[in-house]
Amino acid sequence: MLPMEILISVAKINKYASPESGDTVEVIERPNGGMSVVLADGQSSGRGAKQISNLVVRKVISLLSEGVRDGAAARAASDSLFTERKGKVSSTLNILSVDMQTSTLVITRNNPAPVVIATDEQIRLLDEDCKPIGLYRDTRPLISELPLEAGLTIVMFTDGLVHAGTRYGEAMDFITCLQAIIEDENPHPQEIADSLLAHALQLDEGRPVDDISVVVLQVTSQEGDNVRRMTVRLPLA
Amino acid sequence: MLPMEILISVAKINKYASPESGDTVEVIERPNGGMSVVLADGQSSGRGAKQISNLVVRKVISLLSEGVRDGAAARAASDSLFTERKGKVSSTLNILSVDMQTSTLVITRNNPAPVVIATDEQIRLLDEDCKPIGLYRDTRPLISELPLEAGLTIVMFTDGLVHAGTRYGEAMDFITCLQAIIEDENPHPQEIADSLLAHALQLDEGRPVDDISVVVLQVTSQEGDNVRRMTVRLPLA
């Protein structure tokens, strides 16, 4: 395996005038090597939605950090939410993992919003029908596994991105938008996430109708040193 | 309160020729607003040390995400490690939290290595004697609380940074080093973390004698939008 590196970037904004986002995103180290990004969007918005998505993400990262496989962690989070809220509250859930045991990217979806896979040749969607968690017993995620190869870009998001602009009769065409961004020379995943979010904000006329979170993961050939790095920016409005 | 923003950056490298770092760092959202960075360095190095630091960080973030206070989470992690390993294994632990309930920065230390606090006027050290966790019953952390104000920079690290160069008869003077870095105009926390790590690597002649992790947190007045951002870089050697 040629030396590679993983870059993961997140851009996230609250629904307009909402002090809290109903979306939760966390990135954690996997106990057997690699990282996982866990993204949940709790039903409705504000404080209640935040509690739900926080509960779901907490459950999933706690299981992943014990070495539980992604699919089992997603099923456990669903059962747990179903039990706690008696099937009355739903949440979307995405897990995106770089699994060093299998040298694969594992994409777990319990989210009607698609996940985008871009390679040097093409852009394709994972958009088979799937259910959010919490409403039914035995809700299962859709799982896709890809070999870990330089040149892969994965984009996942909450439905705030999908539905941007609908209030004003416009729709987010994220494939065209993504194509335009990645035609530039080697955009950093933070630029990709920021550009998609900026486009959605523009469609919502600067006042996001829903919480929006965008996660972009890139696999590239390694350029530079062996230092792990992380940067987080948190505006305190 | 004037709009502020928090920037947190991490730079982390393994001991030379060691496939795994005994240090673990995770950043998580606090359930009542704000973020926490949890840093642990397990005794010895490699796989065993990784398991320890992973156990400690997992325990702490799980408690923090339930709303447990930082000091109580540190004590719980110590009792838990003491019980599990019968007092035979130690780990350092630092928690650095932006607590939006109290509008403070909370610095929790169970790590003999100091934490550096830099303001526009001065650089000072939190270096009162304290014990790593896991060796004794009732190990308590040292806790410092500072008002959340623009202009604050906090630097915390594992002992790989403190001891860099000792094999070659040189010592890391991180205060002088930090002073030189922050004299430049508004360095980004990632530049500060990278520069400190680069200096340590140089003292270790490019082959780090121990795992090294550096965390830098900055409070600044808000410049720019309300988007939360995160970027992670993971080299797969």
The residue type of B24 is: T
What whole-number distance in Å separates Cα of residue A195 and Cα of residue A177?
8
Quickly list H helices, chain A.
46-65, 70-84, 159-162, 174-183, 189-203
Mean pLDDT of A133-160: 95
Each residue of A51-75: pLDDT tens digit? Answer: 999 999 999 999 999 999 999 999 9
- Decide if A27 contacts B232 (C-beta within 8 A): yes
Q: In the prediction, which pLDDT does B12 show?
A: 96
What whole-number distance in Å separates Cα of residue A125 and Cα of residue A114?
6
Mean pLDDT of B153-164: 94
Q: Smallest Cα–Cα separation from B152: which of B2, B27, B7, B3?
A: B7
Average pLDDT, chain B: 93
Cα distance from B90 to chain A (closest Cα, Å)?
A: 19
Q: In the prediction, which pLDDT does A228 show?
A: 95
Mean pLDDT of A152-181: 90
Written as six digits, the tokens of B162 are 């403190």
Cβ within 8 Å, pair A9-B222 = no
Each residue of B167-191: pLDDT tens digit? Answer: 888 888 888 989 889 887 789 999 9
Cα distance from A199 to chain B (closest Cα, Å)?
A: 13
* Residue B95 predicted with pLDDT over 90: yes
* Residue A79 predicted with pLDDT over 70: yes
The complex's ipTM works out to: 0.93
Each residue of A84-142: pLDDT tens digit? Answer: 999 999 999 999 999 999 999 999 999 999 999 999 889 999 999 999 999 999 899 99
Length of chain B in residues, anyone? 237
The position carrying tokens 């490298």 is B13
The position carrying tokens 């950090």 is A65
| Coil/strand/helix, residue A176 | helix
* Residue A1 predicted with pLDDT over 70: no
Task: Give me the residue from A66, A229, A237 closest to B233, CB to CB.
Answer: A229
CB contacts, 8 Å: B230 with chain A = 8-10, 25, 27, 230-233
The residue type of A95 is: I
The position carrying tokens 């796989």 is B47
* Residue B1 predicted with pLDDT over 70: no
Average pLDDT, chain A: 93
Cβ within 8 Å, pair B12-A100 = no
Task: Give me the residue from B12, B34, B98 closest to A228, CB to CB.
Answer: B12
